A and B are shown apart, each in its own frame.
Chain A
Amino acid sequence: MSFLEIVVDEKRYGERVVLKNLRLGLARGEIVSLVGPSGCGKSTLLSIVAGLDKGARATVRLEGAGPALAGAGAREGDAREGDADGIGFVFQEPRLFPWLDVARNIAFGSAAAPPSAAAVDALLAEVGLAGYGARLPRQLSGGQAQRVAIARALYTRPRVLLLDEPFSAVDAITRIKLQDLLARVARERGLSVLLVTHDIDEAVHLSDRIVLLDRQPGPPRAEMAVAPARPRARGDAEAARLKADILAMFDLETA
């Protein structure tokens, strides 16, 4: 059994089935990218794992977390405030609270008030924003705001990090920097990462395994291991071959 075990029997929006008979396991410290066409349910899958989607017939098990992580409302009873079940989430947008300064945004998941200043400072340094604690979100660039969002996700010391197209809204250079940050943080903390992305380069560069989802609900269309060890050089030959394979697979569909 995997470290993180996700089984979605069915998830529908009204009459429309978006996910069906989908099983996905993550090993400890493994980075898995979910790639697929828009509307294939990638983001919905992340919401289910994070417990944001209570309407799915699904089970999510995290090793050592007990059955509290079974999705579909079962987790509500035994949840405590500030407890994200060992799971951190980074959205497509930073989603910072505009009325809180950076430090308070990072410590948002803390039930303790006041939150630990030392922990916040350490996280700020870790994401490369030392000294930014007193700034307001509106004073940050898009890339800086997303760094704060990553720090907030890390504050509750999660073992799993879920990211929903986290770098799709920033410019190319910033995206590379943020990808490097994610790779470093995941490696240093031994995080299991589930990354939803549209960017094949990003998937190939960052992940140990790439899962391709189809528009048709069902088991993954394909799974492929990315062989070169992390950290990986950009432009690695084997990674380039893999990218070509994946693109070919999508071309069949769009041709």
Chain B
Amino acid sequence: MTARVLDVPAAATRRRRRGGVPLLLILPFVLPALLLGGTELAVRAGVLPANLMPPPSEVARTLAWLAENGLGAHLAASTARVAVGFLAGAGAALLAGALVALDRRAAALFDPTLQALRAIPSLAWVPLQLLWFGIDELPKLVLIAIGAFFPVYTGVVSGFGGVDRKLVEVAQLYRLAPLALVRRVLLPAALPAILTGLRTGLSLAWMFMVAAELIAATRGLGYLLSDGRETSRADIVLAAIVLLAVLGKLSDMGMVALERRLLAWRDDFAGSRA
């Protein structure tokens, strides 16, 4: 081994040390810091009207105040709605998707209708639901479930449909019974697409929760949004938005963690997600 060869990694180490904290860890925070700091300064200097665009520091104070005045109940109400609506919608989608993907007659029976329904923007159901179910809890849950249903359904159908025929042939070689074929081959092979569908479905569930609560609610983050608007409290609206961002991100991180756990076998997984 020559000294020249050893020199290469040494030079790389030196370069990194001189740079201090790696640039890639700092970059993500640059834009948020600029935006928040810029807003704060602009409002204080009177460039932006404080009643429409409260400075970040005031939004933070509002959040602190809300935390001591019933924020827990709002968070609990919204989270519970998302959880129940998502579970119902995703559960139905898993069943319907598996049925359509695995049985050609079920596909012929259900898939065209479901595809037609999918073309309807889900919010278009709201007036009908208000007529049918009133402004109770049920229409909110149904709306969230509809929102979560279609991405999961599409993921399941495309996941099962995309299973490598060559792997199925191996299972046929060993005379796997239909149920064992699903459990041991089709489900694991379709899992990446199913999990992607679940992840999209969950983010849509949050979206439709806000829509449902904006229309009629007495509790929840969507209620905070509409309450803030009606009382001209932009700080409350912004506080609710911040909370939605945090909750959405947290639940998405949960899904990503689940994906990482279940799909650790995938060749491309480690590098594909941040």
Q: Which residues of A contact B (CB under 8 A)?
A: 50-52, 79-84, 89, 91, 93, 95, 97-100, 108-109, 136, 138, 156
Contact = CB atoms under 8 A, between A and B. Distances in A.
Nearest to A110: B174
A81 B175 contact: yes
Contact of A82 (B170, B174, B185): B174
Nearest to A89: B173
B177 interface: yes
Nearest to A91: B166
Nearest to A54: B172
A80 B185 contact: no
B188 A99 contact: yes
Contacts of B166: 91, 93, 95
Interface in B147-201: 166-167, 169-170, 172-177, 180, 184-185, 188-189, 191
B188 A83 contact: no
Nearest to A78: B175
A93 B188 CA distance: 20
28 contacts: A50-B173, A51-B172, A51-B173, A52-B172, A52-B173, A80-B175, A81-B174, A81-B175, A81-B177, A81-B180, A83-B174, A83-B175, A84-B175, A89-B173, A91-B169, A91-B170, A95-B167, A97-B170, A98-B265, A98-B266, A98-B267, A99-B188, A99-B191, A100-B265, A109-B174, A136-B265, A138-B265, A138-B267
A51 B169 CA distance: 10
B189 to A, nearest CB: 8
B269 to A, nearest CB: 10
A203 to B, nearest CB: 24
A13 to B, nearest CB: 16
Given A138-B265, A138-B267, A108 B169 contact: no
Residue among A81, A89, A93, A95 with most chain B CB within 10 A: A81
A99 B174 contact: no
Contacts of B189: 97, 99
Contact of A52 (B169, B177, B267): B169
B220 to A, nearest CB: 39
Nearest to B185: A97
A6 B200 CA distance: 52
Nearest to B177: A81
A81 B265 contact: no
Nearest to B188: A99
Contacts of B172: 51-52
Interface in B228-274: 265-267
A80 B180 CA distance: 12
Contacts of B169: 52, 91, 95
